[in-house]
Structure 1
Amino acid sequence: MSLKGKFARLLGGMLLKTARVASVEAVGRGFQRLLLHGDVPTPRAGTKVQLLLPSDEMRTYSPIAAPDGITLLGYKHAGGPGARWMCEVKAGDNVRFAGPQRSLELPAGPVILVGDETSVAVASAFEAERPGEVHAVFQVDAIEDVHVAVGAMGLRRATVVPRGGTYDVVEAVLAARAAAPSASLALTGGSELVVAARAALRARSLHDIKTKPYWVPGSAGLD
């Protein structure tokens, strides 16, 4: 139970919106996709919603615009209250949340987005808003799970590489940038990936980089 969550629950009537979970769908073994109906403004790509969980913890998700609400995609094996809630939530449950709020802002046009399992949702949000203009590069442990999610979420161009050094990430980014020289470049996901990839890309003379770390090892999350 977090102080932020306690505060949000105490002032929930003034701060929080309410939505209903219309559907819950397993996306392969690793991800869960929720459709929310109700008091849900249409989100822009790169925004965030902060959910108040039944445990009074606050967790942040990247909303994806849907014709009749918003979609949330959660990684079930991330650990912690958010992953547990994703595994337990059912259609018909009510969800209280704040947002959408600004988080990762990128100019109009093509996007190269680097991240990990926690970044599939934000890449999907940009793909929904800018069809065919997103190239995602995911460095992950759960390669098969992410491939399934990429297909289910309609990501047309995605490179999935095993977690480790930055060589494969840098090569994928350079190839994507050669194909789309004007593309915005964003690094997301775990802080270790963001820091290492930024240093490696700067060493290859790429400096126009937006960073948005989502989590730090041993921490509850940054955003």
Structure 2
Amino acid sequence: MTGIAGRLADLASGAMLDTARVTGLSRLSPEFVRVGLSAEAFRKATWVPGAKLQLRPRRGSMSLRTYTPVSWDAAEGVTELIAYTHGDGPAAQWFGQVAHGQPSEVMGPRRSIDLREATGPVLFVGDESSVALACALRTVTGDASHVFEARDPAGLTDVLAQLGITERVAVVAKAADRAEVLGRARDAAAEAPYTLVVTGDAATVHAVRRDTRGWQRKPRQVKGKAYWAEGRAGLD
């Protein structure tokens, strides 16, 4: 942005965004970081598991990046994010340099995918960008099977283990034909009525939705949302 446009963006952010401070920080891997945030505004917010929080990683711009809080404590005014910091964009740089006490500008929580009705058996399908949502799901139900596709399956398996997601989880290599992730998802479908939650790569979300039409054990409901698409910076 030009100097004037950047200054206008900073002025607008003061009216639109809340200030939070980093109160917790842990590196789960070179690409995953867990960050705790505290803000007075969080005490007044109503959080729904699956909601989004948007962060402005760079001054002089109104470009926001979207993350899924994994928990929310309104009494203390704190929340926690798990960010997948691939690439070298503004958000990856912000999370790569983040430190305790650092201020951040945020908006939310705001509506995204509502997990409150995802009770009973849940089949969760996603990728690296879906890890925080999988953690948020645990605030609703512990009865979930997980299938993840990943560019680095071993690395993602280690991150999931650190987060306590170790049972009924399969991590497969990302492939253009998506045959393995579809097959694993089909096999993991429960006998009882279940909810399918599928997020992440837009192409995978569409492929899973389409594939369920031929499943013997079809989901009773589907909650799906594309978080990103190849060749695009983001869908939200």
The residue that corresponds to 2:98 in the other structure is 89
Post-superposition offset of 1:42:
6.1
Taking the aligned partners of 1:7 and 1:45, their CA distance within structure 2 comes to: 33
The one-letter amino acid paired with 1:65 is S
The one-letter amino acid paired with 2:15 is M
TM-score (norm 1): 0.86
Unaligned runs of 5+ in 2: none
Alignment partner for residue 213 of structure 2, among 202, 206, 211?
202
Classify 1:108/1:190 alpha carbon distance in 2 versus 1 (closer, same or farther; 3 Å): closer
The residue that corresponds to 1:145 in the other structure is 155
Classify 1:7/1:120 alpha carbon distance in 2 versus 1 (closer, same or farther; 3 Å): farther
Larger Rg: 2
Unaligned runs of 5+ in 1: none
What's the CA shift string for 1:36-73, capped at 9, x where partnerless?
11232463211001111124331000011155511111
Alignment partner for residue 109 of structure 1, among 119, 123, 127?
119
Count residues in correspondence. Answer: 220
Note the 1:65-214 alignment, pairs <5 A: 65=71, 68=76, 69-106=78-115, 107-110=117-120, 111-127=122-138, 129-155=139-165, 156-164=167-175, 165-178=177-190, 181-204=192-215, 206=218, 208-214=221-227
Deviates more, 1:163-172 or 1:139-148: 163-172
Post-superposition offset of 1:125:
0.9
8 Å contact from structure 1 (residues 30, 145) kept in 2: no
Aligned-pair Cα RMSD in Å: 2.6
Equivalent pairs: percent with the same residue? 33
Is 1:44 aligned with 2:48? Answer: yes
What's the CA shift string for 1:103-144, capped at 9, x where partnerless?
0123140322211110111111111x1242232211111212
The one-letter amino acid paired with 2:83 is G
Taking the aligned partners of 1:8 and 1:136, their CA distance within structure 2 comes to: 40
8 Å contact from structure 2 (residues 72, 79) kept in 1: yes
Post-superposition offset of 1:100:
0.5
What's the CA shift string for 1:68-104, capped at 9, x where partnerless?
5111111122442222221111111111111111101
The residue that corresponds to 1:34 in the other structure is 35
Classify 1:25/1:112 alpha carbon distance in 2 versus 1 (closer, same or farther; 3 Å): same
The residue that corresponds to 2:64 in the other structure is 58
Taking the aligned partners of 1:160 and 1:144, their CA distance within structure 2 comes to: 8
Post-superposition offset of 1:220:
1.6
The one-letter amino acid paired with 1:172 is R
8 Å contact from structure 2 (residues 47, 72) kept in 1: no
Could you say what secondary structure the match of 1:113 adopts?
strand
The residue that corresponds to 1:17 in the other structure is 18
Taking the aligned partners of 2:64 and 2:110, their CA distance within structure 1 comes to: 14
The one-letter amino acid paired with 1:74 is A
8 Å contact from structure 2 (residues 18, 107) kept in 1: yes
Taking the aligned partners of 1:183 and 1:90, their CA distance within structure 2 comes to: 41
